[in-house]
Amino acid sequence: MIDQPHWALLPAGFHDTLPPDAAHEAATVEHLMQSLTLHGYQRVKPPLLEFEDTLLAGVGAAMAVDTFRLMDPVSQRMMGLRADSTLQIARIAASRLGHVPRPLRLSYAGQVLRVRGSELRPERQFAQVGVELIGADQPAADAEVAVLAARALAAVGVTRLSLDLNVPTLVTALFDAMAVEPADAARLRHALDRKDADRVSAIGGPAAASLAALLRASGPSARALPAMAHLELPAAAQRELDRLVEVVGLVGRALPDLSVTVDLVEHRGFEYHSGVSFTLFAQGIRGELGRGGRYPVGPGPNGDGGEPATGMTLYMDSVLRALPLPAPERRLFLPLSTDRAVGEQHREAGWITVAGLAVGDGPVAEARRLGCTHVWTDGTIVPVAEEHPQP
């Protein structure tokens, strides 16, 4: 085995994106952004670095363990490299765009950097595309964002898509109503994460029956909705459940062919979410394609305690795995003596042109060496593989 030179090595979780993958990612990002724009979401571009105390304020504290930090040599203050774009958009909405009428619809695309990867996503740098809908508290806002995410993915060619809806605060509301001790709550959360119904029943105490019912009611929406209608929960937990039921109905009416599931006990990865949330998957693809949900934005535009928001983030590494490979590019080799107008004409027609810089071993051999699919020969486009003029 031949070792790579030391200057070609990269840290774990980082990689170079090479042709044609880099162009494919860029084109997919722009296609997604166009879909979001057509639904009224305006693009913003936050900085890669912010002051640590700003970036990790409020609900941003949930991302603290994932955030790289460095000292700003100018201000001598600690700065953080964004690990997630959502919190930056919330800051922009609450400050720079605090005067703009609500609901405010914003979109974004950019790279994020994380201290460590996960089992499903070992990458530590990847691109995000997403939206935030700020200043709307209605279930229709929750449904709009989830439906928009699914439609945007379908628009770029993702198939066999599924949407998993949950309320990460539902179990918390149940614990609070039944005065479950923090130590018991932690053990129950672990059992719920593993969907271990026997363990939940054994250690659940007064909450055991309700938690077991939540586990049984989870699943495909067609089965979950009737089961949820028969649940009996404390008032605060019931309000969370009722909102979820309404959102499931709205999503189902907007996208009747979408596979929708419900998980009434899921909370992992939704540390700063405060209401109906969701995850997007594609059958046979490793990792989630995106996730989103409701979270608080503060302080509000009037200096109050904040305003409601919901949003979603698509993870481009997973999205690209769910897409078919792009069609090969048509690359036309123009030998050294080719008139400049020939290249301009064919670029306008959609060709990628590669200009020859030396005579080499002949136009066809040089075109093949440079990865071109066609060559300009005697005023005609000739496929390199066939070496016969196009009709």
Model pLDDT for residues 122-154, shown as the tens digit of each residue: 899 999 999 999 999 999 999 999 999 999 999
Residue 5 belongs to some domain of the structure: no
Mean pLDDT of 254-265: 97
Looking at the DSSP assignment, which residues form a beta bridge with residue 352?
Answer: 331
Strands (E), 170-300: 219-220, 259-263, 277-282, 290-297
* Averaged pLDDT score across all residues of the chain: 92
Place 118 in a pLDDT band, splitting at 50, 70 and 90. Answer: confident
- Collapsing DSSP to helix, strand or coil, 348 comes out as helix
- Collapsing DSSP to helix, strand or coil, 301 comes out as coil
Alpha carbon distance 380, 388 (integer Å): 10
Q: What is the residue whose two structure tokens read 């699914």?
A: 150
Cβ partners under 8 Å of residue 340, min gap 6: none
Alpha carbon distance 191, 169 (integer Å): 17
Mean pLDDT of 224-242: 94
Alpha carbon distance 160, 318 (integer Å): 14
Residue 2 belongs to some domain of the structure: no
Residue 391 belongs to some domain of the structure: no
Who has greater pLDDT, 215 or 120?
A: 215
Q: What angle do CA 183, 277, 44 make, to 5 degrees?
A: 120
Same domain, 233 and 339: no
Q: How far is CA 102 from the centre of its chain?
A: 24
DSSP letters for 10-42: --TT-----TTHHHHHHHHHHHHHHHHHHTTPE
Same domain, 292 and 337: no
Q: What is the residue whose two structure tokens read 């809806």?
A: 165
Residue 269 belongs to some domain of the structure: yes
Same domain, 112 and 196: yes
Place 213 in a pLDDT band, splitting at 50, 70 and 90. Answer: very high
Contact 324, 157 (CB under 8 A): yes
Q: Which of 274, 291, 321 is the last residue of a domain?
A: 321
Same domain, 316 and 264: yes
Residue 69 belongs to some domain of the structure: yes
Structural domains in the chain (count): 2
Tokens of 350: 């959609």
Alpha carbon distance 214, 243 (integer Å): 15
In the predicted structure, residue 5 carries a pLDDT above the cut 70: no
Same domain, 141 and 271: yes
Spatial CA neighbour of 79 closest among 107, 106, 56: 56
Same domain, 77 and 182: yes
Looking at the DSSP assignment, which residues form a beta bridge with residue 383?
Answer: 374
Residue 326 belongs to some domain of the structure: no
Report which DSSP code applies to 83.
Answer: S
Q: Which of 321, 346, 365 is the last residue of a domain?
A: 321
pLDDT at 326: 87
Q: Which of 321, 341, 373 is the last residue of a domain?
A: 321
- Among 58-67, 155-164, 165-174, 258-267, the least confident range: 58-67
Alpha carbon distance 121, 144 (integer Å): 27
pLDDT digits over 350-391, tens only?
999 999 999 888 999 999 999 999 999 999 999 997 554 444
- Collapsing DSSP to helix, strand or coil, 219 comes out as strand
Same domain, 354 and 304: no
Mean pLDDT of 259-278: 90
Same domain, 355 and 263: no
Same domain, 359 and 238: no
Same domain, 287 and 246: yes
In the predicted structure, residue 270 carries a pLDDT above the cut 90: no
pLDDT digits over 42-91, tens only?
999 999 999 999 998 877 888 899 999 999 999 999 999 999 999 899 89
Q: Is the pTM of this model over 0.75?
A: yes
pLDDT at 127: 96
Residue type, position 257, single letter: D
Cβ partners under 8 Å of residue 231, min gap 6: 210, 213, 214, 217, 238, 241
Residue 268 belongs to some domain of the structure: yes
pLDDT at 2: 52
- Burial label for 188, CB within 10 Å (0-12, 13-18, 19+), is buried
What is the domain-level CATH number for residue 21? 3.30.930.10
% pLDDT > 70, the chain: 95
Place 299 in a pLDDT band, splitting at 50, 70 and 90. Answer: low
pLDDT at 71: 96
Place 244 in a pLDDT band, splitting at 50, 70 and 90. Answer: very high
Report in angstroms the alpha-carbon separations of 37 from 143, 212, 268. Answer: 18, 43, 30
Alpha carbon distance 231, 216 (integer Å): 10
In the predicted structure, residue 293 carries a pLDDT above the cut 80: yes
pLDDT at 301: 43
Same domain, 279 and 360: no
170-177 and 208-217 are packed helices; what angle lies between their axes, rounded to 10 degrees?
160
Residue 390 belongs to some domain of the structure: no
Tokens of 75: 């201000």
Alpha carbon distance 374, 377 (integer Å): 9
- Collapsing DSSP to helix, strand or coil, 237 comes out as helix
Same domain, 97 and 242: yes
Alpha carbon distance 288, 214 (integer Å): 23
What is the residue range of 120's domain?
12-321
Beta strands 331-334; 307-315: pairing state: unpaired
In the predicted structure, residue 325 carries a pLDDT above the cut 50: yes
Q: What is the residue whose two structure tokens read 């449904």?
A: 143
Place 297 in a pLDDT band, splitting at 50, 70 and 90. Answer: confident
